[in-house]
Structure 1
Amino acid sequence: MSEFPQITSSQIRRLHYSETKNGQEVRSRRHLTRLYKLGLVERIWGIYGEDRQEYVYQLPDSGKRAHRI
């Protein structure tokens, strides 16, 4: 995430997970929720068109220099 100011959950799945599509969604959701609860990432709800909605992740303002994910 240090290279991209904001990144969608589907972009993270494509970059970091190689399982089946269902496996990617389950594991990435679990990992990203954990990072969010620990305060290591912020997430906002992004809407792209009428039928595509997903979380957009970014580093929190307070930790942009401290954490390199």
Structure 2
Amino acid sequence: MSRRNPVRTSRNLAVALVLGSALALAGCGVKGPLEPPPNSPMGQPGPDGKKPKDTGPIRPKTPFILDGLL
């Protein structure tokens, strides 16, 4: 009858917990532009009563190597 090595089992469990935690934290957050602070000029309505539209930073379209596969 074979017995499992307790050191190897605990190491595998630790690796699985660390990887699971990393994946869980990688999924946190909100996708989209950043929200301005409450007291910033971007958060205040303009003279017409509407908030200014934030288009976010302009990024140039650069092709990626794997674009052809997608």
Higher Cα radius of gyration: 2
Higher relative contact order (CA 8 A, sep 6+): 1
Bigger proportion of residues as strand:
1
Shorter-chain-normalised TM-score: which range?
Answer: under 0.3
